Structure 1
Amino acid sequence: MARVTVEDCIVKIPNRFELVMSAAQRTRDISAGAELTVERDNDKNPVVSLREIADETIAIPELKESLIRGSQRMAPARDEAEEAETEEVAADAEENADALADALNVQDDSASLDAAGALAFQDEVEIDDED
């Protein structure tokens, strides 16, 4: 990055940390396909974002708001219809899980019976061999 660009940006955003975070957010926006407000001139996205900040071709308050929205990890509020649908899906999943557990228990019981029968058969064969 050119020192001139960074020095020009410090005038617009005096806090260096805030400048870096804002430029990084704008760089992500550019990478995601946002329209450039300055000529690229063979520069990479971080340099273009700094040039946009320095030239004030983008709204810095909007950029800060975009940074805040991008950093939030809170899920958006759901409406009642979405909550009802989620509860319905959860109930269906629980019923399916119960049915699957019942099926597995039946299979486990038959498997244990098969194993017990095999052991009994093996004991009979060993007894017959001793005679």
Structure 2
Amino acid sequence: MARVTVEDCVERIPNRFEIVLLAARRARAIAAGSMLTVDRDNDKNPVVSLREIGDGTIDLEDLKSSLIHSLQRRVEVDEPEEDNMAALMSSSNEWAGVIQENAATETFSAEEIDATAEDTTDAEAEDTITES
């Protein structure tokens, strides 16, 4: 029974190794609950999948694409278009698509920073003496 089924499949798919891969993929799909396109006739899932391929009741291109997708380990991700990337990078107030509203920025000179640091140090020293 299976030999006749394989001979029917060879007419549609000349490569026997590809037949095995596609039939195994389809048999797993049947085991997972996929609808049958031919009568089961008390056959097991691999034989049913071979009969479906031989009869041409399933779309081979869809089966091939699902097989390829299941075997892929690394999927290429499309990069964002350059227009979007340029827009994201153009604004200094924008980061990852979030616009910061009214970002307050102050600039200090070196003398102001030194004076603030000295004031802080004097205040800390006075607190230390008071605590002792």
TM-score normalised by structure 1 residue count: 0.56
Query: 2:52 is matched with which residue?
Result: 52
Q: How many angstroms does 1:28 deviate by?
A: 0.8
Overall identity of the aligned pairs, in %: 65
Q: How many angstroms does 1:76 deviate by?
A: 7.8
d(CA) in 2 for partners of 1:14, 1:42: 27
Match of 1:62, SS state, is helix
Query: 1:99 is matched with which residue?
Result: none
Q: How many angstroms does 1:74 deviate by?
A: 2.3
Letter in 1 for 2:21: M
Unaligned runs of 5+ in 2: 78-95, 97-132
Larger Rg: 2
Give the structure with the higher percent helix.
1
- Runs of 4+ in structure 1 off by over 4 angstroms are none
Letter in 2 for 1:55: D
Q: How many angstroms does 1:75 deviate by?
A: 5.7
Query: 2:113 is matched with which residue?
Result: none
**CA RMSD in angstroms, aligned pairs only:** 2.2
Unaligned runs of 5+ in 1: 78-83, 85-131
Match of 1:65, SS state, is helix
TM-score normalised by structure 2 residue count: 0.56
d(CA) in 2 for partners of 1:75, 1:9: 31
Residue 71 (str. 1) matches residue 36 (str. 2) = no
